[in-house]
Amino acid sequence: MSTANGNDSLLTLDGVTKHFFTDEVETHALDGIHLRVERGEFLSIAGPSGCGKSTLLSIIGLLDTPTSGRYLIKGQPVENLKPWERARLRNREIGFIFQAFNLIGDLTVYENVELPLTYRNMPGSERRERVHQALERVGMLHRVKHFPSQLSGGQQQRVAVARAMVGDPAILLADEPTGNLDSKNGEAVIDLMREIHSQGATICMVTHDPRYADVADRTVHLFDGRIVEENMALESALR
């Protein structure tokens, strides 16, 4: 998959760097990243703490901009978009799943999942249909009136997955989605993501846990801001 033409890839990063400047010290968080993500692929980004995984995901998710290099979504360069253009593209093309769930405590499950759609001027009837479908897919439709504090960690992450999917994004970005869960709930969330991927979703997941990295079609390993290794899952290599 990584050898595909960049113009045909869903996401393309060519020579992406990210440098931070603090107290006259320059930190190279990313150094020359070349990466392709294909439609329908499940990609895992692995590596030790501080290697640049979350910085890379932030750039992919348009939450941050590269210091240099090119970044294309569906063949279109995005690194120089205006803030409002980035926000609009992020809302329509990217779904986020965070380690800390990031649900809004005073909103119900339904309202949390509906929130991304409220920025699209979408009719209420269409929003309701999409929210119900997303919650049904993650097995949380029976909790629509509950608040996050009334849910377990595993249930909250399922709601977060529904929120990420509700807008039918081009790609789901998951930043350590099992990091705040015990092993049983962590495995349940990974099983859910595997199921969503089997239905056609494109997923890019950051993880430090090799057990979960292995569920992906392909894993890239970062170290000191560079991709140092790439592995294909056996079943993907045989396709």
User: Which regions in the chain score pLDDT beneath 50?
Assistant: 1-6, 237-239
Which whole-number Å values give the CA distances from 35 to 6, 63, 164, 204, 232, in the listed order? Answer: 9, 18, 23, 12, 14
The SS3 call for residue 229 is strand
pLDDT at 159: 96
- Residue spans of the domains in the chain: they are 39-65+82-237
- Position 111: which residue type? E
Class (C level, CATH) for 39-65+82-237: alpha beta
Residue 234: what pLDDT? 53
CB 12 within 8 A of CB 71: yes
- Per-residue pLDDT, 236: 52
Residue 5 is predicted with a pLDDT of: 44
The pTM assigned to this predicted structure is 0.87
pLDDT at 157: 95
